[in-house]
Structure 1
Amino acid sequence: MPTALSYPSLQCVLEFLDANKRQYIVARTPAIQQINNLLPINLSNLEFTPYRLALDSLYITVSDTKLTWKKNNARLAWEIRFPEGVGKDKMWTKITKFYLSERPKFHVNRLHIFSTESRIVLPSDVSLRVNEMRVDGCFSFKNYLSIVDPSSFPLKRLCTLIDGESTFDNPVFNSAETLTCSFSPRTTIIPLTKFDKVLSKNVRIDYSFFWHEKVVELIRHWREVGKEIGTNYVFFKDNKGNITDALSKLNDIFPEFNNKLEGVDERFIIDSPRFLIPMNSTAEIMMYGNVATERGLDHYELTVKITSIDTDMQSPAIKKPRLAAA
């Protein structure tokens, strides 16, 4: 007969058990219910979309008249109808409170929130410790900071809309280790010099309408004030033409810095110009177009990064003359 788990062992197993399996086991084991609320629940992904909550592979959807539970890729779902007099908004409040407020503390690797029409309403007493936070749609991450435990900061990754210049005064935004941000047509006018406040060396930027002038602005600013070696800014689009057109125009502006970047291990956009631009005596700006693959789909990037000077791959503008033979 197998030996029963000790109390510390049971705690360890329960804490790192799949969240949905844990819920199933706890509901059927009164003895475990006594310690369940003392242990955090670990989730790989927690997602909120309008009237839908996803805990890893379990999707809970509130429609006009019923509540649906469905496992990811499952053919069958479990449904119940609302009690009489209970509307959609009230049921959403009940569900989010049941799963998030009346449970142990959540440790979430990736929190994803998506909404385009109105801000998603969540219980005020929710507190999530998260590693990564992504907010898509028409709202900024600032609308949802109240549900994130302060111990989560600095975030390992933050993806958000820039809704105004005040975004660059937010310490959560400025301290994220990796930053992905999008500009709407309204905020495109914000100068990229605002990123001087950002501590992250890894920044990804998406413009609704991508202009090569924004890259020129960034490069000229870095050449004037300097930037730390290892800084990597990526402008990304699904449309290859946006990137190749920008590179072609950049080639007209910086023709003297054209460089094949031989020895650089990247999946370059074929036949697109590449550049190596001097910044100061120890660093230079490398710029090129490349193809990246995510979830099996290709998208296109214009990468601008700061590297230490490589004497074997210097820009023609800063190459030292060869010594004449004796």
Structure 2
Amino acid sequence: MDFYLAGRQNYVCDKVTLGGPFTDITLPPDFKILTKELISQMRYFVTYLPVIDPRSFPLRKLFTQIEEPAHFDHPILRSVDELEIEDGYDGMLPFIDENITSKTVVFSSCDVPHDDVLKLIRNWEKNGKELGTTYKFDDYKAGSQMSTMCQLKKKLSEFKNKRYNGTTESPFLIIPIDNTTSCINVYSTGQTEEFETILKVEHAKQKRQKKQRSEDAPVTCKKAKR
């Protein structure tokens, strides 16, 4: 181990991945890593905090397991820009939506029920969500009628994008958010065995263009009747 550390106790790296055998390694007492992305494999991330330089926080990205609601109470998790959950617990999606401020949340290796995703969309549609918010869901039923993509298309058919062209840049659903100029665009990364369903809160482009045309139109007044 001393050979690889080359006598140094402090390291700077853009991203660090820790997991498995790392916990069995004996490190110098003052060993620290300064990083902006922490990938905690197969464990809740607090296991590795003793080797993370405090100057790393707030993190740009955190990848971790979440086993219970109490895990969300940690201030490091609540301050991260992008949160990726390797494995979670049933019913965590509504809790995350209400309590976690990360604008990007990725559910990796999490089979989130499509009914929970539908409820999330309905909540955003009614109550709004910050522009730029992005939630990504792995879909392990891809290619079947029970996939998240197929179920959302079925249950939100009134919002189907008539110009959807099957690419990753084209949303298959466009859902206006009440009393705003934003919308929930729902994307898919493909039609293969494993793909993501992605929710993004973005500007409603069509509405903005119509509004602009209206503002550019000349103002005319009807002649008053005598």
TM-score, normalised by the number of residues in structure 2:
0.76
The equivalent position to 1:246 in structure 2, one of 133, 148, 157, is 148
For residues 57-98 of structure 1, the C-alpha deviation after alignment (integer angstroms, 9 at most, x for no partner) is xxxxxxxxxxxxxxxxxxxxxxxxxxxxxxxxxxxxxx36x7
* 1:152–1:165 distance in 2 versus 1, CA, 3 Å: same
Structure 1 residue 167 corresponds to structure 2 residue 71: yes
Give 1:287 shift.
Answer: 1.0
1:221 maps onto 2:123 in alignment: yes
Once the two structures are TM-superposed, the CA of residue 223 in structure 1 deviates from its matched residue by 2.5
Q: CA deviation at 1:230?
A: 1.0
Identity %: 26
Unaligned runs of 5+ in 2: 210-226
- Partner Cα distance (1:226, 1:122) in 2: 49
Partner Cα distance (1:217, 1:111) in 2: 35
User: Paired residue for 2:31?
Assistant: 126
Partner of 1:286: 185
The change in CA–CA distance for 1:204 and 1:157 in structure 2 (over 3 A counts) is same
Distance 1:216 1:284 in 2: 15
Question: Cα gap change, 1:112/1:276 in structure 2, threshold over 3 Å: closer, same or farther?
Answer: same
1:177 alignment counterpart: 81
Give deviations 1:133-160, integer Å, cap 9, x for gaps.
10112x1111111111110011122111
Change in Cα spacing, 1:196 to 1:188, as seen in structure 2 (3 Å) is same
Shift of 1:311: 2.2
Bigger strand fraction? 1
**How far apart, in 1, do the equivalents of 2:66 and 2:45 lie?**
9
1:241 Cα deviation after fit: 3.0
Q: Which amino acid aligns with 1:285?
A: I
> Which protein, 1 or 2, shows the higher relative CO under an 8 Å CA cutoff with sep ≥ 6?
2
The residue that corresponds to 1:197 in the other structure is: 99
Find the counterpart in structure 2 of residue 301 from structure 1: 196
Q: CA deviation at 1:251?
A: 2.2
Correspondence for 2:174:
276
How many angstroms apart in 1 are the aligned matches of 2:163 and 2:26? 50
Partner of 1:136: 41
Of 15, 19, 34 in structure 2, the residue corresponding to residue 110 of structure 1 is: 15
Which whole-Å CA distance do the structure 1 matches of 2:140 and 2:6 have between them?
Answer: 39
Cα distance in 1 for partners of 2:174, 2:101 equals 24
What's the CA shift for 1:194? 2.4
Q: Is the 8 A contact 2:139 2:196 kept in 1?
A: yes
Within 1, Cα distance between the matches of 2:83 and 2:145?
20
Deviation, structure 1 residue 165 = 0.8
**Cα distance, 1:263 vs structure 2:** 8.6
Code of the aligned partner of 2:176:
P
- What is the one-letter code of the residue matched to 1:212? H
Over aligned residue pairs, what C-alpha RMSD do you find?
3.3
Q: Which residue of 1 aligns with 2:217?
A: none
Q: Is residue 157 of structure 2 the alignment partner of residue 255 of structure 1? A: yes
